[in-house]
């Protein structure tokens, strides 16, 4: 059974990577998707390229750090379609670098997009879904929301917060008919590594290291996420390595700490100045 057919979904950060693939995959399954991103031109061209064979695609320019704008997108969607079935809070950014080097503005930017962006989506759509008595919110965290990697503490903080928020909301929403899941991908081959700001670390060395980590395409990731949605999983962990790391974190946090202390050597090798 195709549970996505004729459903209404909003996807944030849909101009590239995982968000783009989610929008494409949903549309191919008959969902009417509102694609949002702060990159207006890109989100329009992604939306235009989606074939109108099954569902439909409509682009909207949205910066998730703007709550009023986010609420308007949710309200407009409900006004047009009468309901909202899925909200994919997917937009995210990262700033690479050790905590001793990144500025307070870097911390604020990451927390603002990755955490406040999700909070804004929840504050705008969750009450609507409670009123409807149905709906599913998918908050994209990361394996870094379950395991603390060194080298981007602001990202780790934001993604751990998204997992906690999602777990709490899942309990609150259960008897009200609203489902909530946290999506925790491992390495997905997207533009995020090229586009991210990096502070006092050589991008080339970081990219070389990332390239060695087994990863999957955003299209494969989108399919895995939708499998998790079908099963209404609380945590949708994507990639084999991410599943292993999460299992290790639960079995032996001290072993994970040892792995991370080894991992930090790559970060130190990539430092520009000490
Ligand atoms: P991406 O850079 O390809 O896509 C992110 C999208 O979010 C971009 O289109 C960007 O324009 C948009 N965006 C950024 N800030 C925004 C804002 N303020 N308002 C609206 N849109 C904004 O990256 P991706 O890898 O597809 O990342 C998608 C999500 O998956 C992110 O939350 C990221 O943290 C998470 N994630 C990615 C990976 C990975 O390995 N790629 C792993 C785990 C989690």
Provide the pLDDT for residue 45.
98
How do residues 122-181 score in pLDDT, each as one tens digit? Answer: 999 999 999 999 999 999 999 999 999 999 999 999 999 999 999 999 999 999 999 999
Instruction: Find the 229 Cα to ligand 1 centroid distance in Å.
Output: 19
Which atom of ligand 1 is closest in space to residue 155's alpha carbon?
Answer: 34
Domains and CATH numbers, the chain: 8-269 (3.40.50.720)
Provide the pLDDT for residue 247.
98
Distance of alpha carbon 38 from alpha carbon 14, whole angstroms: 9
Provide the pLDDT for residue 238.
98
Provide the pLDDT for residue 133.
98
Which atom of ligand 1 is closest in space to residue 43's alpha carbon?
Answer: 9
How do residues 55-109 score in pLDDT, each as one tens digit? Answer: 999 999 999 999 999 999 999 999 999 999 999 999 999 999 999 999 999 999 9
Handedness of CA 182, 188, 191, 197 (dihedral sign): positive
Total count of residues recorded for the chain: 274
Q: Does 54 score more than 90 pLDDT? A: no
Measured by CA distance, the residue closest to atom 6 of ligand 1 is 13
Q: Does 52 score more than 90 pLDDT? A: no
Q: Which residues are catalytic?
A: 155
Tokens standing for residue 114: 């990755």
Nearest to 58 by CA among 91, 14, 122: 14
Output the pTM of the full model.
0.98
Task: Give the burial string for 225-261 (b: 16+ CB within 10 Å, else e).
Answer: bbebbeeeeebbbbbeebeebbeebeeeeeebeeeee
Instruction: Find the 40 Cα to ligand 1 centroid distance in Å.
Output: 15
Instruction: Find the 175 Cα to ligand 1 centroid distance in Å.
Output: 31
Q: Does 274 score more than 90 pLDDT? A: no
What would the DSSP string read from start to end of 103-127? Answer: -HHHHHHHIIIIIIHHHHHHHHHHH
Q: Does 53 score more than 90 pLDDT? A: no
Percentage of the chain lying above the pLDDT 70 cut:
100
Provide the pLDDT for residue 239.
98
Probe ligand 1: pick from 192, 196, 237, max atoms within 8 Å of CB?
Answer: 192
Mean pLDDT, rounded, for 12-25: 98
Q: What count of other Cβ atoms lies within 10 Å of the Cβ of residue 209?
A: 16
Lining ligand 1 with CB less than 6 A are 12-13, 15-19, 37-39, 62-65, 90-93, 113, 117, 140, 142, 185, 187-188, 190-192, 195, 218
Probe ligand 1: pick from 18, 21, 147, max atoms within 8 Å of CB?
Answer: 18
Summary mean pLDDT of the chain: 97
């Amino acid at each position: 059974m195709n549970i996505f057919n004729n459903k209404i979904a909003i996807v944030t950060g849909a101009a590239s990577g995982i968000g783009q693939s989610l929008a494409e995959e949903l549309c191919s399954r008959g969902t009417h998707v509102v694609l949002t991103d702060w990159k207006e031109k890109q989100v329009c061209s992604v939306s235009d390229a989606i074939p109108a064979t099954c569902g439909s695609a409509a682009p909207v320019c949205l910066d998730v750090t703007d709550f009023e704008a986010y609420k308007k997108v949710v309200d407009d969607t409900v006004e047009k379609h009468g309901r909202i079935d899925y909200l994919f809070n997917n937009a995210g950014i990262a700033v690479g670098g050790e905590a001793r080097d990144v500025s307070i503005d870097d911390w604020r930017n990451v927390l603002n997009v990755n955490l406040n962006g999700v909070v804004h989506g929840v504050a705008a759509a969750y009450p609507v879904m409670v009123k409807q008595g149905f709906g599913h919110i998918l908050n994209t965290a990361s394996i870094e929301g379950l395991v603390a990697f060194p080298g981007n503490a602001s990202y780790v903080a934001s993604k751990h917060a998204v997992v906690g928020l999602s777990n709490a909301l899942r309990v609150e929403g259960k008897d009200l008919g609203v489902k909530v899941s946290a999506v925790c991908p491992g390495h997905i081959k997207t533009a995020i590594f090229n586009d991210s700001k990096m502070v006092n670390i050589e991008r080339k060395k970081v990219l070389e290291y990332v390239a060695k980590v087994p990863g999957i395409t955003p299209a494969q990731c989108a399919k895995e996420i939708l499998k998790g949605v079908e099963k209404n999983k609380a945590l949708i962990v994507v990639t084999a390595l991410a599943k292993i790391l999460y299992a290790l974190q639960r079995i032996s946090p001290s072993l994970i700490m040892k792995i991370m202390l080894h991992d930090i050597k790559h970060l130190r090798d990539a430092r520009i100045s000490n």
